Amino acid sequence: MKNKILKSFLIFVVLFLFSCGEKVTSGSDIYTCPMHPQIEMDHEGECPICGMTLVKKEPVIHSEHKKNGMEGESQNPDSFFLSEEKQKLIGVETTFVKKGEILKTVSFSGKVAYDPELYSTYNEYRVVTGGNESERMIRKSIKSKLTKLGVSESQLSYLSHQSENLLLTGRSKNLVLVFVQVYEGELSEVNKGTKMEVVVDSIPNLTFPGKVVALGDLVDETTRTLSVWCEVNDPGNRLKPQMFLQASAKVEKKNVLRIPRESVFPTGKREIVYVKDSENQFIPRSIHTGFVSTEWVEVLEGLEEGEEIVAKANFLLDSEAKLKLGGIHDTHNH
């Protein structure tokens, strides 16, 4: 009988505690590591993983109390409260999501054209006109070989309007053909007509202007690059076949949704920004990014124009989020 009475009393206490809308915690203080929130101790000390000084963990206030006006106005379960004093202490600065342009410079390595194998194969292809069935078969076979060498239709078209020995001399009057190697991840940023600037270590203080005239079709399995052909203006006849060079292109995207690059916090699993939900309330949000420069990041998904986000102090803010949300911002995709 006593056991039944005790059991009923305990059930009543548990139900009463949960009805308050707060997490049931012990009365003692809990200390945790800003970088490793899984570390929790009932006393001050150092993190056994990284050695950082443990800080007192603030109690988690659940949504029932938030509705009553405690710790900010947001009712998002993944938001966290940060007082104005603490924002000033860690140097939080905010900005608004807007549309604008993103400009960046992309660099590539390359060399002045010189390819005897391609020269020989292409000349065979040029000579065989394909007038009868036999020649058409031969021409088809040679074109297949050119394809294996990575030559695209646009490159074949370009060569058809040039002198026969271009692939040996690299030159057509004042224009020089340059082979530039573009990594597969940067192919979307280079197109036919893209302007290039070329510099050579052996020719200091001189820049050669040029443009992309044709793109290849084959990505090298070792270097993961694709050959892009550029015409470069060289009236002084300074550039020689096989001379190594560095090329660069200024790539621009206009009227895109952009945010400062330093506002993006990479977690290792995804990229996160901190949205200011109210005066003292912040929400970590996962985003998908596109075009990136040294200053700006294009936002493809996750933010809308006009939203206010944290522009600086993300590292310290992330530590606060880990303390108060227990790393939830790194496991959910909002």
List, for residues 138-174, the tens digit of each pLDDT value. Answer: 999 999 999 999 999 999 999 999 988 999 999 999 9
Cα separations (Å) of 201 from 136, 150, 227, 230, 244?
46, 28, 21, 19, 8
Residue 66: per-residue pLDDT: 42
What residues are paired with 229 via a beta bridge?
179, 214
Of 36, 77, 65, 29, residue with least CA distance to 53? 36
List, for residues 55-71, the tens digit of each pLDDT value. Answer: 777 654 444 344 444 44
Residue 85: band (very low, low, confident or very high) from pLDDT cuts 50, 70, 90: confident
Residue 256: per-residue pLDDT: 94
Residue 75: per-residue pLDDT: 57
What residues are paired with 109 via a beta bridge?
181, 246
Residue 26: per-residue pLDDT: 45
Region 80-101+254-325: CATH code: 2.40.420.20
* C-alpha–C-alpha distance, residues 91 and 126, integer Å: 67
Phi, psi of 2 (to 5 degrees): -60, -40
Domains of the chain: which residue ranges?
Answer: 30-55, 80-101+254-325, 115-166
Of 176, 154, 155, residue with least CA distance to 166? 176
Task: Put residue 5 in one of left, alpha, beta given phi > 0 → left and psi -120 to 50 → alpha.
Answer: alpha
In this prediction, residues 192-206 reach a mean pLDDT of 94
The conformation of residue 46, written as its DSSP 8-state character, comes to B
Task: Put residue 202 in one of left, alpha, beta given phi > 0 → left and psi -120 to 50 → alpha.
Answer: alpha
Residue 156: per-residue pLDDT: 94
289, 299 Cβ separation under 8 angstroms: yes
102, 293 Cβ separation under 8 angstroms: yes
Residue 181 pLDDT exceeds 90: yes
Phi, psi of 115 (to 5 degrees): -145, 90
* C-alpha–C-alpha distance, residues 34 and 247, integer Å: 44
Of 229, 325, 210, 333, residue with least CA distance to 272? 333
* C-alpha–C-alpha distance, residues 100 and 308, integer Å: 16
Residue 313: per-residue pLDDT: 61
- How far does Cα 282 stand from its chain's mean position? 24
* C-alpha–C-alpha distance, residues 73 and 193, integer Å: 53
